[in-house]
Structures are given as structure tokens and as C-alpha cells.
Structure 1
Amino acid sequence: MKRRRSIVSLILYLTLGLTLTALFGCDYFGFKKIKDITDSPMKFEGKEVKVRGIVESSLRIPFTETVVYTLKDDSGSIMVVATGAKPNNGDSMKVKGLVSTAIKIGDETFGTHIKEIKRW
């Protein structure tokens, strides 16, 4: 009886562990507000972030695979640099990417953007 109870407990703990790993290992958690990134770009410089929002504008750089689009959430907007398909204006998107700043002069930064790794 004791052995059976310990096997059932083990199965329950394994199931719970796998469920939590699946939940927190997925890309559904950990989104940053865009304003947090644009207000403190050096805090996020070179770090991977996830954001979500609506595409405000997008364009493909002629003769390249590069796409640039602006993603806006309820806190602000940020430019995203990517390759591949150009998103349509008004598309709702989730993006994972690396934060980068074009120019740093002293404590000031200009051109903070996200280099897209993945979108969905």
C-alpha cells in the first residue's frame, strides 16, 4: 500500500513538473512593455526581449531581404528590423528579438530598435 502511494505521488509530481515546464518554457510569458525598453534602452541593450503589439507601418528595403516595421502597444512604439515577409499594417504580432541602439552619445541613445529573431 505504501509503495503504491509513493508511485502515485511520483506520477503526480512528474505530471506537475512537466506541465509547469511546458507552460513557462513556452513563448507565452515574459512580454515587456515597449515603453520599458525605450525609456531604459541601455538596460536592455544586447538582451533578448519579447514584445507584442500592432504593426503601425512597414517597408521592405529595396534590393534586400530586410524589412523594417514599427510595432505599437498601449505604452509606446519601437522599430523592428527583420528579414523575410513584410507584415501588413494593422497586423497583431508577437516578436522576440535583441535590443540594439544605433547611436550612443554619453548617456543619450538614439535609434533603439529590436532585431527580430522570431515573430508569431
Structure 2
Amino acid sequence: MLLRNTGILSIVVVGLVGCQQLSDFGIRTFLLTPISAIEQKKDGARVYLQGKVTHKAPFLGSGAYQLKDDSGSVWIVTTDTIPPVGEAVVIKGTVQYQSLPLAEQDWGEFYILELKQLEMEVTSR
């Protein structure tokens, strides 16, 4: 009887915990945005990206690096330290679009303004 009650209690506890957000337990979670989906986001939208640094371009007081995932690549502009080429990173940033009109066409490009480099496990959906 004790074993049966313990089993039922375990199921109830797991069920209750499973219905709560992980953030209720102090575990921060967020959804990753595939780089290929950035163009569908609004200018200024907050995104979380994960990928590998493939190129970097240091500037005076800031810099940029190219982040690549399985779906594509995008330039990340930062005032923080630029990660080394080959390093896997997770970042929080905002989508930006720089228009470049030329010969009656817009040759603009999306990029990400980095808000923070993150060090945590990520759940992707």
C-alpha cells in the first residue's frame, strides 16, 4: 500500500511541476530563432540566436562577427568582446535592417544588434 501511495504521489508531483513554467523554478528558457527566419521578424524584434562564429570585423569601440547556423548566417554588431572564429555562441539581440537603395532596388541587409552574449542551455522548438 505504501509503495502504491508513493507512486501516485510521484505522478501528482510530476504532473504539477510539468504544468508550471521552468522560469517559476529560476530556470531561464527562451526559444531560438533560426537565422533564416530573421527576415520575417519586424525591425527591432528581440531574438535569441545560436550558432558558430565564422568571420569577425573589429571596429574602433565596437565590432561585428558573422554567426552561422544550419539555416544561414547573419552579421552581429556588438560593443562587447568579439568571440573567436569557430566558437559556438548564444546571443540575445534585436533585428535591424539597413536599407541600401541602388538603381531603383533595395540592396539592404538584416543584421542583429547584440544585447547580450548568453551562457546557458537552450531549448529549441
Scaled by the length of structure 1, the TM-score of the pair is 0.70
Q: Taking structure 1 as reference, are residues 102 and 19 closer, same or farther at Cα in structure 2, changes over 3 Å only?
A: closer
Structural mapping, 1:93-112, within 5 Å: 93-103=89-99, 108=106, 110-112=108-110
Q: Which runs of 5+ in 2 are unaligned?
A: 1-8, 119-125
Q: Taking structure 1 as reference, are residues 33 and 86 closer, same or farther at Cα in structure 2, changes over 3 Å only?
A: same
More helix by share: 1
User: Is contact 1:101-1:109 (8 Å) kept?
Assistant: no
User: Is contact 2:22-2:28 (8 Å) kept?
Assistant: no
Give me the identity figure in percent: 26
Q: CA deviation at 1:60?
A: 1.2
Aligned position for 2:113: 115
Structural mapping, 1:1-120, within 5 Å: 16=17, 20-22=22-24, 26-27=28-29, 29-38=30-39, 40=40, 43-62=41-60, 64=61, 66-103=62-99, 108=106, 110-120=108-118
Provide the C-alpha distance between the structure 2 equivalents of 1:118 and 1:44, rounded to a whole number of angstroms: 19
Q: Taking structure 1 as reference, are residues 104 and 74 closer, same or farther at Cα in structure 2, changes over 3 Å only?
A: same
Q: CA deviation at 1:103?
A: 0.7
Give me the CA root mean square deviation.
3.0
Scaled by the length of structure 2, the TM-score of the pair is 0.68
SS of residue matched to 1:112: strand
Provide the C-alpha distance between the structure 2 equivalents of 1:93 and 1:20, rounded to a whole number of angstroms: 22
SS of residue matched to 2:38: helix
* Amino acid in the other structure paired with 1:90: G
Provide the C-alpha distance between the structure 1 equivalents of 2:37 and 2:64, rounded to a whole number of angstroms: 21
CA offset digits 1:45-81 (Å, max 9, x no partner): 111000100000112103x2x1100000000000000
